[in-house]
Structure 1
Amino acid sequence: MRCKGASYQLSVSNDVELKIGFIGAGNMAFGIAKGLLPGKVPPANVKVSAPSSRNLERFQELGVAVTHSNVEVVSGSDVVFVAVKPHLVPLVLAETSQHITDRHVIVSVAAGVTLATLEGLLPENTTVIRLMPNLPCVVQEGALLFARGTHAKPEDGALLRSLLHRCGLVEEGPEAWVDIHTGLSGSGVAFVYLFAEALAEGAVKMGMPSALAQSIASQTVLGAGTLLRDSGKHPAQLRSEVCTPGGTTIHGLHALERGGVRASIMSAVEAATTRAQELGQKPAAGSRK
């Protein structure tokens, strides 16, 4: 732990000394916790709080301690993930802020809650990082983007990367990108599921059994995504490689373009991003600023 006024010297090699806390026990917290364990941080060094026991059992199965006390989590942790709904962030930080010291790194995964809002709810000079993961973190295939607050140093970002690298792709960027990432990847997961559902329903319409159609659709999405990630090629290049003159794919793509699928997807990302930005503009109760 760092003492008041000292620089943060924890490194990848001694992450085992870290105490990690989660306020909130939803899917994002669970996905991140799974990425930390095993090996990176021992289960004995992790504690999770939630107001009810509904989601805590799966954390206990990981060997993680659970509690109903947010203060207990903060008091016993170095890095605290605030993984609650955006409207609950002011309440949680008001409850725990007097227990937050300069040894803490506070990582918020609440959509739309800005760094300025978080810093206004916390003691001065608190190290704050805003992180946006997505649902595939639960299978360690997530896409995570974070932005550092005013008092977060590059080594704090490096520490977070080292903790989260098993969760999937981890990138750092300016805060303006976090809301865009929310629309692209946080909400975008649901857009992909809708597309996969429609693929399967198209096959059912043409006579394939539903269970088989769903299985093939999911594998198609998985295979296409893996190839896109690992090939390094632009999506348009891969798409053109599937098309042959007068073939089935170009006819199907023509139908999609007639339906405006490209514009609809772009509009969906825009709408989700705009909503994330709106969440961040709402005044936070209890802010010091």
Structure 2
Amino acid sequence: MKIGFIGCGNMASAMIGGILEKGICSKQEIIVSNRTVEGNERSKKNLGVNVTLDNCQVVRETKTVVLAVKPQFYEEVIAQVKGLITEKHVIISIAPGKTLRWLEEKFGKPVKIVRTMPNTPALVGEGMTGVCANSYVQDIEMAGIKEILGSFGRYEVIPERLMDVVVSVSGSSPAYVFMFIEAMADAAVADGMPRAQAYEFAAQAVMGSAKMVLETGKHPGELKDMVCSPGGTTIEAVRQLEKGGFRSSIIEAMKACVEVGRKM
């Protein structure tokens, strides 16, 4: 399998890292395009893959093409390459807000399109990706896409109507989690813990808690109750969080995220 990436920022680099680590492709079977010579030099140095400044070359040399540019550049890039897209190509989108219908309209002809929403934990092999496809994508092709997505984390096939929700619950949510870790570390520092140590304690607590949700299958509320002893320290911390509108703030932030995603 040869794979092409139009754009090679953090998300594309994370995907390529997983693909290489799992042996889905060799470095020689991947080509990426960047807007600048400096970008190509960075991709070549960090990933060891083939590089080009020509988006059309990526399409000519591969049949699986990942559109890994920012959403505002999608229309421009599609206009450049659509004349080279054939019935043998599969296009993978990673942009929020760009629906399958919108993408099909911009290509102006029947094109196999897979819409995905990965997240930055893919950089460490712990990504979460939502995925859906149009009717032109065959089962065998979808199996290959799933193999790619599984190389850098977990994935779930979902109806497209939920893709904007995926943006808020996993695509953007690492930022909320990082803020949470930072806040916990700040509090620990305020109480005398060295900052590097505080980050380690906070980050490990978040990672371990997430693993408990995934591996025990227990409801998060049940797991929370397991930590809250009557009259203890944890329930007092929970009381203060609720007093400050902790859960409501998260819900409202995520709803705002969905609304922005739908307008992109």
Task: Report the TM-score when normalising by structure 1.
Answer: 0.87
Determine whether 1:215 maps to 2:215. Answer: no
Equivalent position SS for 2:95: coil
**Does the CA-based 8 Å contact 1:100-1:123 persist in structure 2?**
no
Change in Cα spacing, 1:229 to 1:55, as seen in structure 2 (3 Å) is farther
How far apart, in 2, do the equivalents of 1:56 and 1:142 lie?
25
How far apart, in 2, do the equivalents of 1:55 and 1:141 lie?
25
Counterpart AA for 1:243: C
User: Which of 63, 82, 95 is 1:97 aligned to?
Assistant: 82
User: Which of 32, 54, 73 is 2:58 aligned to?
Assistant: 73
Equivalent in the alignment of 2:9: 26
How far apart, in 2, do the equivalents of 1:156 and 1:122 lie?
19
How far apart, in 2, do the equivalents of 1:131 and 1:145 lie?
6
Post-superposition CA distance 1:181-231 (Å, at most 9, x none): 001111111000111111111112222222221221111111111222222
Aligned pairs, number: 262
How far apart, in 2, do the equivalents of 1:176 and 1:54 lie?
38
Once the two structures are TM-superposed, the CA of residue 152 in structure 1 deviates from its matched residue by: 1.9
Q: Percent identity?
A: 39
Within-5 A mapping of 1:44-123: 44-60=28-44, 61-123=46-108
**Does the CA-based 8 Å contact 2:70-2:95 persist in structure 1?**
yes
Unmatched tracts of structure 2, length 5 or more = none
Equivalent in the alignment of 2:117: 132
Once the two structures are TM-superposed, the CA of residue 58 in structure 1 deviates from its matched residue by: 4.8
**Does the CA-based 8 Å contact 1:51-1:68 persist in structure 2?**
yes
Equivalent position SS for 2:177: helix
Post-superposition CA distance 1:254-284 (Å, at most 9, x none): 00000000000011111111110111xxxxx
Equivalent in the alignment of 1:43: 27
Question: Which stretch of structure 1 is more off in the superposition, 38-47 or 18-27?
Answer: 38-47
Counterpart AA for 2:17: K
Equivalent position SS for 1:143: strand
Equivalent in the alignment of 1:250: 235
Once the two structures are TM-superposed, the CA of residue 57 in structure 1 deviates from its matched residue by: 4.1
Unmatched tracts of structure 1, length 5 or more = 1-17, 280-289
**Does the CA-based 8 Å contact 1:132-1:146 persist in structure 2?**
yes
**Does the CA-based 8 Å contact 1:82-1:107 persist in structure 2?**
yes
Larger RCO, structure (CA 8 Å, separation 6 or more): 1
Equivalent in the alignment of 1:4: none
Q: Any runs of at least 4 consecutive aligned residues in structure 1 with deviations exceeding 4 A, and if so which? A: none
How far apart, in 2, do the equivalents of 1:269 and 1:157 lie?
29
Change in Cα spacing, 1:56 to 1:231, as seen in structure 2 (3 Å) is farther
Within-5 A mapping of 1:167-206: 167-206=152-191
How far apart, in 2, do the equivalents of 1:55 and 1:245 lie?
56
How far apart, in 2, do the equivalents of 1:63 and 1:104 lie?
24
